[in-house]
Amino acid sequence: MLFRNIIGQEHIKKRLIETVKNNRTGHAWLFFGPEGSGKLQLAIAVARYISCLNRGETDSCDTCSSCVKYKKFIHPDLHFSFPVNKTKNKDAVICDEFLKEWREFLTLRPYGGLAEWYESIGLDNKQGFISTEESRRITYKLSLKAYESDYKTAIFWQADRMHDQGGNRLLKLIEEPPPDTFIFLVSEKPGQILPTLRSRCMNLKIPGIEDSVMQDVLTDKHGLDKQKAAEIARIASGNYRKAIRLMQEPEEYQYFLNKFRDLMRSCYRNKIPDIIKITDELASLNRERQKTFLEYGLGLIREGLAMHYDQPELVYLSEEEHDFIANFAPFITGDNVVQFKEELTKAACDIERNANGKYVLLDMALTFAELLKQERKY
């Protein structure tokens, strides 16, 4: 990954390049920010720039032996850790067993998220994690002498999914790193990383991609007309992964809208049999799609609140979503929005912890019905 291939984030790129050129690169970094902002891409790009044998003023050379191997993610001094679990074809929970799939994933879906990664390795309903054994292996690899480069680099993608014991093992590595070693943690949920680990890293917040930059990419790279590109860029709200999915998989968002709309209407009317039917159907989805649905619903609640308080410039919706939320917004108020948010967030957390989706979603929906019932009284 080259800096010039990363969408937007120009001030972040400049800062990282100047840090390397001035020999002020810390040995441990935490890149955190929203989904689809390019955190992993930036971590790979700066690691590549550090190891490049012929650095340019603004990017790696892309031709030296180090760059050629970084381009294919096969450099022997570049190590990755990422969430995995046992699958039908693999009994190990070690990242080395999934390197082929990981390299294909980075090549084909550089802005892909956990749902796409789990799908690519056939994880089904299991949740991935970074094991304590994985942290031990990375620690051992970094303790060895570099094979080709002057530097060794480890990148932990979705570092918040690291076991606490693994985090503690990594803490020792960060406190006493081998010479010329760099560690990059990448996360969308930095609050779930061990505080002792987080505090020992240089923290760099990566913001969402600017709408104007996103629009230009959708127009120039993907061939959308300016009006459609502007609509998708606004709805994506800085998330390039979401923008791609809105283009390539619009039926998924349509499905989520239909189900959320049906669920809210059933909750409003207090039709328990319909609520059970809808939540059972949602529970039949794999866990990542259930979580995606809940995140989608949380987004609609946020838009409903903005619309309720007449803030149209803060609303990011498609035309069909707008029509639904315009009718639903009167029931999203400052009195109940926190409860809606808490129920959706709690349900996502419970599903991530392998709770039974039928019970989790039904419990959430019944709470929604009670909240909407209270609003009907006024």
pLDDT at 233: 86
270 phi/psi in degrees, rounded to 5: 60, 40
Q: For the chain, give every domain's residue range.
A: 3-205, 210-248, 250-376
* Contact status, residue 17 vs residue 49, Cβ threshold 8 Å: yes
Q: What Cα–Cα distance (Å) separates residue 94 from each residue in 57, 136, 314? A: 37, 11, 43
Range with the largest mean pLDDT of 38-52, 90-104, 306-320, 351-365? 38-52
* Contact status, residue 247 vs residue 284, Cβ threshold 8 Å: no
149-172 mean pLDDT = 90
- In the CATH scheme, what is the code of domain 3-205? 3.40.50.300
pLDDT at 251: 82
184 DSSP β-pair partners:
29, 155
CA 67 to chain centre: 26
Binning pLDDT at 50, 70 and 90, where does residue 354 land?
confident
Tell me how crowded residue 294 is: count the other CB atoms within 10 A of its CB. 25
101 phi/psi in degrees, rounded to 5: -65, -35
- Going by C-alpha positions, the residue among 361, 367, 347, 344 that lies closest to residue 284 is 361
pLDDT at 373: 82
C-alpha span between 262 and 365 (Å, rounded): 11
For the record, the structure tokens of 292 come out as 């995606």
Residue 97 has pLDDT above 70, yes or no: yes
The span from the first CA to the last CA of the chain, in angstroms, equals 56
For the record, the structure tokens of 16 come out as 């990282």
CA-based angle 154:157:161, to the nearest 5?
115
**Average pLDDT in the chain:** 89
Tell me how crowded residue 227 is: count the other CB atoms within 10 A of its CB. 8
C-alpha span between 287 and 114 (Å, rounded): 11
256-285 mean pLDDT = 93
CA 166 to chain centre: 21
CA 334 to chain centre: 28
Residue 125 has pLDDT above 80, yes or no: no
pLDDT at 304: 84
> Helix or strand or coil: residue 251?
helix
Which helix (H) or strand (E) element contains residue 353? none
Least confident residue range of 21-35, 255-269, 310-324, 342-356: 310-324
Residue 47 has pLDDT above 90, yes or no: yes
The reply to whether 3-205 and 250-376 are identical in fold is no
Binning pLDDT at 50, 70 and 90, where does residue 315 land?
low
C-alpha span between 71 and 101 (Å, rounded): 15
Helix axes 250-269, 319-328, angle to 10 degrees: 10
Would you put residue 62 in left (φ > 0), alpha (ψ -120 to 50) or beta?
Answer: left
Binning pLDDT at 50, 70 and 90, where does residue 378 land?
very low
Residue 71 has pLDDT above 90, yes or no: yes
Residue 95 has pLDDT above 70, yes or no: yes
Fold classification of 250-376 (topology level): Zinc Finger, Delta Prime; domain 3 (1.20.272)
> What is the side-by-side order of every strand in the sheet holding 181-187?
78-81, 152-157, 181-187, 28-32, 202-205
* Contact status, residue 84 vs residue 99, Cβ threshold 8 Å: no
Tell me how crowded residue 159 is: count the other CB atoms within 10 A of its CB. 31
pLDDT at 375: 59
Binning pLDDT at 50, 70 and 90, where does residue 299 land?
confident
Q: What Cα–Cα distance (Å) separates residue 313 from each residue in 38, 210, 307? A: 26, 16, 9
Least confident residue range of 51-55, 251-255, 294-298: 251-255
pLDDT at 214: 92
Least confident residue range of 55-69, 134-148, 209-223, 247-261: 247-261
pLDDT at 51: 94
- Going by C-alpha positions, the residue among 23, 76, 12, 22 that lies closest to residue 45 is 12
> Helix or strand or coil: residue 32?
strand
40-66 mean pLDDT = 94
